[in-house]
Structure 1
Amino acid sequence: MTLNFNPLETNLVNLAIVIGVLVWFLRGFLGGILDRRRQAILQELQDAETRLKTATEELSKAQSDLAAAQQKADKIRVDGEARAAAIRSDGEQRTIAAMAAVKQGAAADADAEAARIKDILRREAALAAIDKVLSDLPSRLDDQAQARLIDSTITNLENA
Structure 2
Amino acid sequence: MIKLKKHWILNLAETNLVNLTILISLIVYFGKQFLTTTLQSRQQRVITALQEAEDKLQKASARLSESEKQLAQTQLVIEQVTEEASKTAQKVKDLIMIQGKLEVERLTKSSQDNIKNAEFQIRKKIQQQISTLAIERVTLDLKNKMTDSIQSQIIDDNIAKLGGSL
Taking structure 2 as the reference length, what is the TM-score of the superposition? 0.74
Q: Aligned to 1:113, which of 106, 111, 118?
A: 118
Q: Aligned to 1:64, which of 56, 69, 73?
A: 69
Query: In the aligned structure 2, how far is the partner of 1:103 from the partner of 1:117?
Result: 21
Are 2:108 and 1:89 equivalent residues in the alignment?
no
Are the structure 2 counterparts of residues 89 and 145 from structure 1 closer, same or farther at C-alpha, using a change threshold of 3 Å? Answer: same
Taking structure 1 as the reference length, what is the TM-score of the superposition? 0.76
5 Å-filtered alignment, 1:40-79, equals: 40-79=45-84
Provide, for residues 129-159 of structure 1, a one-character-per-residue CA deviation record: whole Å limited to 9, x for no partner.
1112222221122222223334445556x48
Query: In the aligned structure 2, how far is the partner of 1:56 from the partner of 1:42?
Result: 20
Aligned residue in 1 for 2:147:
142
Are the structure 2 counterparts of residues 60 and 153 from structure 1 closer, same or farther at C-alpha, using a change threshold of 3 Å? Answer: farther
Tell me which moved more, 136-145 or 121-130: 136-145
Query: In the aligned structure 1, how far is the partner of 2:155 from the partner of 2:93?
Result: 74
Superposed CA RMSD in Å reads 2.6
One-letter amino acid matched to 1:89: D
Query: In the aligned structure 2, how far is the partner of 1:87 from the partner of 1:54?
Result: 48
Provide, for residues 6-61 of structure 1, a one-character-per-residue CA deviation record: whole Å limited to 9, x for no partner.
xxx9xx89x95767644532331233123201211122112212221231132123
Query: In the aligned structure 2, how far is the partner of 1:155 from the partner of 1:96?
Result: 67
Aligned residue in 2 for 1:4:
none
Are the structure 2 counterparts of residues 154 and 43 from structure 1 closer, same or farther at C-alpha, using a change threshold of 3 Å? Answer: farther
- The number of aligned residues is 147
User: Highest Rg: 1 or 2?
Assistant: 2
Aligned residue in 1 for 2:130:
125
Are the structure 2 counterparts of residues 28 and 80 from structure 1 closer, same or farther at C-alpha, using a change threshold of 3 Å? Answer: same
Query: In the aligned structure 1, how far is the partner of 2:129 from the partner of 2:118?
Result: 16
Aligned residue in 2 for 1:103:
108
Query: In the aligned structure 2, how far is the partner of 1:155 from the partner of 1:48?
Result: 135
Provide, for residues 81-112 of structure 1, a one-character-per-residue CA deviation record: whole Å limited to 9, x for no partner.
11221122122212211221121111111111
Tell me which moved more, 110-119 or 61-70: 61-70
Give 5+ residue unaligned stretches, structure 1. 1-8
Give 5+ residue unaligned stretches, structure 2. 1-12
Query: In the aligned structure 1, how far is the partner of 2:34 from the partner of 2:40?
Result: 10
